[in-house]
């Protein structure tokens, strides 16, 4: 049942709020089991699009700003400088987990690598030194 909210839905701010922070398309459409079963590709597409929109808004971005950032980085990862097609699915938003501040766009490998080192620059420097020593 639709409910009132002062804030727009998280998924599509241009649409009316429906429930649980979502618009009616995202709340009812893809979540309806029968519809989802009959339209798995469309349901996946809607879900991915909504998740991407939520992620961009979380960091104060929209599609245009994201595209401008990709262009500023020449479509490459800010760390390894590889293009998305060359390493993994594409560029992802990297952010500081303590401040939640956007840092840049990374390939999935580099983003996960930073996460494995818990964003600790000292540990990353020690790992780099370890690799240098092992090659001598």
pLDDT tens-digit series, residues 62-110: 999 999 999 999 999 999 999 987 655 689 999 998 898 999 999 999 9
Beta bridge partners, 93, equal: 105
Q: Are residues 52 and 82 in the same domain?
A: no
Within-domain flag for 65: no
Q: Are residues 78 and 28 in the same domain?
A: no
Within-domain flag for 78: yes
Is residue 5 over pLDDT 50? no
Q: Are residues 45 and 78 in the same domain?
A: no
Is residue 40 over pLDDT 60? yes
- pLDDT value at residue 1: 47
- pLDDT value at residue 30: 55
Torsion of CA 66, 97, 112, 26, to 10 degrees: -50
Within-domain flag for 11: yes
Alpha-carbon distance 64 to 53, whole Å? 12
Q: Are residues 83 and 120 in the same domain?
A: yes
The CATH number of whichever domain residue 106 belongs to comes to 3.40.1800.10
Give residue 126's domain range. Answer: 74-136
- pLDDT value at residue 116: 95
């Amino acid at each position: 049942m639709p409910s009132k909210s002062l804030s727009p839905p998280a998924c599509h701010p241009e649409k009316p709020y429906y429930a649980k922070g979502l618009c009616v398309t995202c709340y009812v459409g893809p979540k309806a089991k029968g519809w989802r079963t009959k339209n798995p590709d469309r349901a996946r597409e809607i879900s991915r699009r909504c998740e991407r929109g939520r992620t961009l808004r979380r960091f104060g971005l929209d599609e245009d700003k994201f595209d401008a950032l990709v262009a500023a980085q020449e479509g490459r990862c800010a760390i390894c400088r590889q293009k998305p097609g060359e390493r993994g699915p594409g560029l992802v938003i990297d952010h500081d987990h303590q401040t939640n501040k956007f840092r840049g766009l990374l390939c999935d490998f580099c983003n996960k690598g930073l996460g494995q080192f818990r964003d600790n620059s000292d540990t990353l420097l020690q790992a780099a030194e370890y690799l240098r020593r092992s090659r001598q």
